Amino acid sequence: MRSLFRAIKFAFQDIFRNFSLSLMTVLILVLMLLSVNTLVVIKFFTSQATQSIKDQIDVSIFFAHTATDEEIAEVQSFIKSFPEVSNVQYLSKEQVLEKFKEQYSDNENIIASLEELDENPLGSTMIVKTRNPGDYNKLIEALSVPEYEDIVVAKTFVDTELAIERINNITTQVERFSVILTGLFGVIAFLIIFNTIRVAIFTQRVEITIKKLVGATNWFIRSPYIIESFIFTAISVAITYFLMRFAAGLIDPYVAVVFKKDWLLTNYISSNIMMLVGSQFVVVLLLTIFSSFLAMRRHLKA
């Protein structure tokens, strides 16, 4: 325990002796982590945007107003037999008429025309959702058979595959930039940590020689620099986490307008805190320790 306390004491002494280099090391590590977290947030928003588009996709099947309940039930049973179908919503003639009136409530001519008719001119409607957007074309083709020509009068489907593809293309470009930026900051962080440890060893070469003369082991000499790596990692990860929480609080009101969900990003960070903070802490710690060991291997004799 005494050796550990001494190693921690020497580590803090080294940090304050080379305070500017230590500060620069933490700053570069924070920038590297911010670029990594930016990549994570982009992926999260991409998945949310893609899912939001998929949730809005459906195919509407319009039945002739002369179609009987038995014929509609047969079509409905046929649609539900597809494993790709996730949900089927049926709207009766009366429900379709009510929705039509609500939609055109400000158009007096259309409402007046409906009131002059003796019967409901609209047929039933069935709204179908599939598990994947690519399944809608398969469903429409299956319904385009002679048996259903007099029952199904129209099938509408807005193909949003192009929108999803554009989102994925933009995301890919941004991800590539973020990966390059992360790698750049990683290399800079490695070089700064390497030089920080090397400068510390150079300025303390006399002290290191004395420690060796009085019987200090190589591990005791190396331990302060390893502790420095741990301190750099802990500080940079903590700063990055608080910056991300602060940024999420600023961004969330604007995100809520798009995705209709409050505190979306904040909740994502909170629910994945162990994965985000833990994995980043381990990766940065390995990077800093590797840099430190490489510097010590060059300037300390085994």
Q: What is the pLDDT of residue 182?
A: 73
Average pLDDT along the chain: 81
My answer on whether 186 and 283 are in the same domain is: yes
Query: DSSP letter string over 108-128?
Result: HHHHHHHHH-SS-----EEEE
- Max mean pLDDT among 4-18, 79-93, 212-226, 235-249 falls in 235-249
Query: Residue 302 has what pLDDT?
Result: 45
Same domain, 173 and 47: yes
CATH number of the domain bearing residue 138: 3.30.70.3040
pLDDT for residue 163: 62
Count the domains in the chain: 2
Whether 37 and 175 have beta carbons less than 8 Å apart is answered as: no
Contacts of 86 (CB under 8 A, 6+ apart): 129, 130, 131
Q: Are residues 62 and 137 in the same domain?
A: yes
287 pLDDT more than 50: yes
pTM of the model: 0.70
Residue 104 burial class via C-beta count within 10 angstroms: exposed 0-12, middle 13-18, buried 19 and up: middle
| Confidence at 237, pLDDT banded by 50, 70, 90 | very high
Q: How far apart are CA 3 and CA 5, in angstroms?
A: 6
Which pLDDT value is given to residue 235?
94
**Do 49 and 63 fall into the same domain?**
no
Asked whether residue 241 falls in the same domain as residue 286, the answer is: yes
Calculate the alpha carbon distances from 231 to 43, 56, 266 in Å.
30, 48, 27
Of 105, 135, 158, the position where a domain reaches its end is: 158
Continuous H helices in 151-217: 161-203, 205-213
Measured from the Cβ of residue 76, the count of other Cβ atoms closer than 10 Å reads 17
Whether residue 139 is found in the same domain as residue 179? no
pLDDT in tens, 12-29: 887 887 788 788 888 888
> Above 60 in pLDDT, residue 159?
no
pLDDT of residue 247: 92
- Domain boundary residue, one of 105, 136, 158: 158
Residues 195, 90 share a domain = no
- Give the domain range for residue 262: 2-53+163-299
DSSP class of residue 84 equals: T
Q: 199 and 18 in contact (C-beta within 8 Å)?
A: yes
Nearest of 163, 175, 208 to residue 38 by alpha carbon:
175
Is 254 in the same domain as 273?
yes
Buried-exposed string 249-270: b where 16+ CB fall within 10 A, e elsewhere: eeebeebeeeeeeeebbbebbe
**Whether residues 150 and 225 fall in one domain:** no
CB 80 within 8 A of CB 126: no
Residue from 70, 28, 12, 11 nearest 182 by CA: 28
Has residue 285 got a pLDDT over 70? yes
Q: Which of 158, 186, 213 is the last residue of a domain?
A: 158
Q: DSSP labels for 27-47?
A: HHHHHHHHHHHHHHHHHHHHH
- Point out the least confidently predicted range of 19-33, 57-71, 163-177: 163-177
Band the pLDDT of 242: cuts 50, 70, 90. very high
Contact 50, 136 (CB under 8 A): no
Indicate if 180 and 295 belong to the same structural domain.
yes
The C-alpha angle 166, 171, 172, rounded to 5 degrees, equals 100
Asked if residue 230 and residue 145 are part of one domain, the reply reads: no
Both tokens of 43, joined, read 């992926």
Q: Using CB atoms within 10 Å of the CB of residue 108, give its burial: 0 to 12 exposed, 13 to 18 middle, 19+ buried.
A: exposed
Copy the structure tokens of residue 2. Answer: 């005494």
Structure tokens at 151: 């029952």
What gap in Å lies between CA 234 and CA 284, rounded to an integer?
9
Task: Tell me, yes or no, whether 25 and 88 share the same domain.
Answer: no
